[in-house]
Structure 1
Amino acid sequence: MHLTPTAAGVFPIAPTPFAADGSLDWASAERLFAWYDGLGADGTTVLGIMGEAPKLEPEESLRIVKVAVAGMPGKPVIVGVSAPGFAAMRRLARDAMEAGAAAVMIAPPPSLRTDDQITGYYGQAIEAIGADIPFVIQDYPLTLSVIMTPAVIRRIVMDNPSCVMLKHEDWPGLEKISALRRFEADGSLRHISILTGNGGLFLDFEMERGADGAMTGYAFPEMLIDTVALQKAGRRDDAHDLFDAHLPLLRYEQQPGAGLAVRKYTLMRRGILASDAQRKPGAGLTPAAKAEVDYLLARLARKDARAAL
């Protein structure tokens, strides 16, 4: 299976489950991907920033890919392969595709500054991994500090036929989505899928600007799935009503440095992960923060029964 530019829907970004001692919790990993599949997710993404990819050994990374492919049969698995050097990127990309992945995701290194540096980097990366592998551009300037204008994204897409998707995480980024869809309308950009991130914080309006869905790690992916479906069905108010009910927890998850801890804690409370542990270095939540998350979950349960724990 290869990812195509028509991909749409919700691709939850999977956290990597760890036990308290830092070892990988494979039982929780299997449960996580089976859960995504059962919810109706359209695919998943592994080894992203939320997946603590730099903390994994190569053998662990590849096994995560295999568990995801097995847990979501017939659905595309996207694999983050960003690395300091192209040799490691190529090895993981080729091994992941051989293991059944549908595409890879490449983020620009923070050292890139000019438009030519950015487009040149992607050209070199595709030369390294091979033009036969579909790839996703990860545009996340808040974390990566690399600014990609719509024109730069257009250059990358048009220069590299194997580019099939943009993971859009600019903030604010609504106008960027609109600009890219205008390029498509005037014929200067071929169609690619646009899935959005940022914990889903702007998904309600991103769908209205032309996004095809979400690729993010919010601990209630079923809300993302429902919001996307409602927007596609033209039920704007229903989509916003559901989204607004989750907004306090979405906001809490978006705290810099604490988002992954909040998500893992919530997934543990939901019975998906056995532990909310992160592999070191990584910080957990204080008792006060856990109490605040519990409070938000209790409030959310009044409007969405799926939050009743």
Structure 2
Amino acid sequence: MTLDATAAGVYAIAATPFLPDGAVDYASVDRLTDFYLGCGVTGLTILGIMGEAPKLDPAEALAISERVIRRAGVPVVVGVSAPGFAAMRALTHGVMASGAAGVMIAPPPTLRTDDQIVTYYRQAVETIGADVPFVIQDYPLTLSVVMTPTVIRTIVMEHPSCVMLKHEDWPGLEKISALRGFQREGSLRPLSILTGNGGLFLDFEMERGADGAMTGYAFPDMLVELVARARAGEREAAHDLFDAHLPLIRYEQQQGIGLAVRKYVLQRRGAIAHDAQRAPAGVLSAAARGEIDYLLGRLARVDGRALV
């Protein structure tokens, strides 16, 4: 199940379940994996920003990865971003030996120029090995690193092991069009583009040429349906479905508490036992929980999956 440029569909960004005392909830790791599979996802992406990866120690990161990979039966991409290359190398080699499909690498926030970005990925590939398929994580809103389409093309063309872009720029629709334009003119080889940002622009991202989604919205089953409808050319049905979920998608996108919202909804849906995060973490007030419950109730009028 090695990742390649034909990857499409929905790769759910997985949360990392914790117990109220902050320990990893391994029983809920299994439970959540089964939940995602039941939603029909194409693959899973673990240890990303949503997965609270920086809060895990190396042993926990590897243990979680091995557990999900053994259970999933679908391609699993593992986030290996780290402040130093030694940690990136160790985790990459560990998860690939366990059967991961590939790894995801985000640029560190210190990068500012195009040359710095290209050099960083060159060094990262030297570190993990040119035989390891990798995903570029392009998330300037959080990482503060701006990658132009030309820079992305340079990285992709320099490294055959770069098979996917996790596209989370905002605004980013024109970037997708630019990259697909490069492909049409022959200056960019095939590249899978899966989009993030909680699915906030997925309706039009699919129309611009995205292959699917790689995000953590708490209704991955809706994302699966939306991507399928969009790929089938059912534009109105895809937009109607998206519009029904948009209020909750928007609520999830709040800086500081977005992950708390997602974990609360995942708990409500029975996917995890607790909505706990490992400190430091945002906390939902009673008022916020009431608002989420209200949004779920409104959504349930048109989508029975929200009846929780």
Same structural fold, with TM-score higher than 0.5 when normalized by the shorter chain: yes
2:302 aligned residue: 303
* Alignment partners' CA distance in 2, 1:71 and 1:308: 27
- Alignment-mate amino acid for residue 65 of structure 2: V
Query: In the alignment, which residue of structure 2 is the partner of 1:200?
Result: 199
1:86 aligns with 2:85: yes
User: Would the aligned equivalents of 1:195 and 1:211 in 2 still touch at CA under 8 Å?
Assistant: yes
Where 1:45 maps in the other structure, the secondary structure is: strand
Matching of residue 277 in structure 1 with residue 276 in structure 2: yes
1:1-309 superposed matches below 5 A: 1-73=1-73, 75-309=74-308
Q: CA deviation at 1:36?
A: 1.1
Contact 1:213 1:228 in 2 (8 A): yes
Paired with 2:43 and 2:6, the residues of 1 have a C-alpha distance of 13
Contact kept? 1:277, 1:284, Cα under 8 Å? no
- Partner of 1:78, secondary structure, is strand
Work out the CA distance in 2 between the residues paired with 1:125 and 1:70.
Answer: 26
2:39 partner amino acid:
L
| Superposition deviation, residue 157 in structure 1 | 0.2
In the TM superposition, what is the alpha-carbon distance from 1:148 to its structure 2 partner? 0.2
Post-superposition offset of 1:283: 2.1
Task: Please give the secondary structure, in 2, of the residue aligned with 1:182.
Answer: helix
Check conservation: 1:207, 1:231, Cα contact below 8 A: yes
Runs in 1 of length 4+ with deviation above 6 angstroms? Answer: none
TM-score using structure 1 length: 0.99
Structure 2: unaligned runs, 5 residues or longer: none
Would you say the 8 A contact 1:37–1:71 is kept in 2? no
Q: What are the superposed Cα offsets for residues 220-269 of structure 1, whole Å, 9 maximum, x if unpaired?
A: 00110000000011100000000100000000000011110000000011
Q: CA deviation at 1:92?
A: 0.4
Alignment TM-score, normalising by the size of structure 2: 0.99
Q: Mind listing any 5+ residue stretches in structure 1 that lack a counterpart?
A: none
Q: Which amino acid aligns with 2:151?
A: V
Distance in 2 between residues matched to 1:162 and 1:18, nearest whole Å: 33
Amino acid at match of 2:52: E
SS of the residue corresponding to residue 216 of structure 1 reads coil
Q: Deviations over 1:71-125 (max 9, x none)?
A: 211x110000000111110000010100110000000001101100000000000
